[in-house]
């Protein structure tokens, strides 16, 4: 429904030529929403930054912090939690690559192969977004039960010797990465679908008429034309996957903890606000840097 709505508005990204009339009107239209974002997005981020530099009150209770400029918070956060940081980016990257490997052919099947059967196409699209309707947490818990030690899946895998005796699927990095891939797969598939849906099939024919091999037609025609979708999809998958902690918490152990788990527990269990804030900032900063570099390389700046 909704996601399909986003995907479905055809070719609309090109903005109509804005008209000039009524100088105050656009600002009046913008003001309430921008004020909301200012109060509940910009200001909190700024406060998060000041929180990340706070110093503990000497002799104060646990959770008492005074404003300060303790940049050492960042150094300590990195030196203590770099393994979780690396793990987050590693898992996020792997999940993104897997989601791309599954999502691209899936999107291709729906956008190109089902193109001449509209109703089928619409139904397949609904099936891609179907998982969204069962709660994210419930789906992840379902995976936990499906991959559990005595579950059918594990028993069968052991019976056919794919999984050695004594091995397990829950509480492993495999389970966490599979969960991440699963949960964000629709975010990968939908944007790719949107750009493949507009792909003019005659271009592929033209490539073949000009004696391009199938592989080079794909590499030089199909793939470049679907790049905006691939870029949007990888971002929509990578960002939430890297920051996620639900999959690691429900499908993993402390040895698969990601940076989100650390931020969560620093905030709630240890009331160590400065470290949690510093980690949040480091996470956001590294994602922004990676995304900027990626977008520049991919050459599509028009994302929104």
Residue 278 CB, shortest distance to another protein, in Å, is: 11
Distance CA 106, CA 112 (A): 10
Residue 209 CB, shortest distance to another protein, in Å, is: 10
Nearer to another protein, 119 or 160 (CB): 119
Residue 211 CB, shortest distance to another protein, in Å, is: 11
Residue 167 CB, shortest distance to another protein, in Å, is: 20
Nearer to another protein, 52 or 164 (CB): 52
Q: What is the DSSP letter of 11?
A: T
Nearer to another protein, 214 or 293 (CB): 214
Nearer to another protein, 80 or 164 (CB): 80
Distance CA 18, CA 11 (A): 17
CA angle 131, 96, 201 (to 5 degrees): 80
Secondary structure string (H, E, C) spanning 59-107: CCCCCCEECCCCCHHHHHHHHHHHHHHHHHHHHHHHHHHHHHHHHHHHH
Nearer to another protein, 60 or 105 (CB): 105
Residue 55 CB, shortest distance to another protein, in Å, is: 15
Whole-Å CA distances, 24 to 16, 19, 33, 38, 95? 20, 13, 16, 20, 46
Chain CA centroid to CA 151, Å: 29
Nearer to another protein, 20 or 164 (CB): 20
Residue 11 CB, shortest distance to another protein, in Å, is: 7
Cβ-proximal residues to 42 (8 Å cutoff; 6+ apart), any chain: none
Contact by Cβ (8 Å): 103, 188: yes
- Asked whether the CA dihedral 95, 96, 97, 103 is positive or negative, the reply is positive
* Tokens describing residue 90: 């590693």
Chain CA centroid to CA 31, Å: 30
Nearer to another protein, 6 or 167 (CB): 6
Residue 88 CB, shortest distance to another protein, in Å, is: 9
């Amino acid at each position: 429904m909704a996601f399909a709505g986003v995907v479905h508005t055809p070719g609309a990204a090109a903005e109509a030529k804005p008209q000039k009339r009524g100088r105050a009107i656009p600002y009046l239209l913008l003001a309430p929403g921008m004020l909301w974002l200012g109060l509940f997005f910009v200001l909190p981020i700024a406060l998060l930054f000041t929180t990340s530099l706070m110093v503990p009150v000497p002799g104060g209770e646990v959770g008492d912090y005074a404003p300060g400029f303790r940049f050492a918070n960042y150094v300590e956060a990195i030196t203590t939690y770099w393994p979780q940081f690396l793990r987050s980016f590693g898992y996020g990257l792997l999940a993104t690559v897997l989601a791309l490997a599954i999502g691209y052919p899936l999107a291709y099947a729906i956008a190109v192969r089902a193109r001449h059967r509209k109703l089928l196409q619409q139904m397949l699209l609904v099936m891609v977004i179907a998982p969204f309707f069962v709660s994210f947490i419930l789906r992840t818990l379902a995976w936990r039960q499906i991959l559990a030690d005595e579950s059918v899946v594990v028993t069968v895998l052991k019976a056919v010797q794919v999984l050695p005796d004594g091995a397990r699927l829950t509480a492993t990095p495999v389970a966490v990465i599979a969960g991440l891939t699963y949960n964000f797969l629709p975010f990968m598939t939908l944007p790719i679908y949107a750009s493949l849906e507009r792909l003019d099939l005659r271009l592929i024919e033209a490539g073949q008429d000009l004696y391009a091999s199938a592989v080079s037609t794909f590499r030089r025609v199909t793939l470049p034309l679907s790049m905006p979708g691939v870029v949007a999809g990888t971002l929509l998958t990578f960002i939430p996957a890297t920051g996620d902690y639900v999959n690691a918490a429900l499908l993993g152990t402390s040895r698969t903890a990601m940076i989100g788990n650390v931020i969560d527990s620093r905030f709630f269990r240890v009331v160590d606000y400065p470290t949690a804030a510093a980690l949040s900032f480091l996470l956001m900063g590294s994602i922004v840097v990676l995304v900027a570099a990626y977008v520049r390389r991919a050459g599509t700046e028009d994302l929104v």
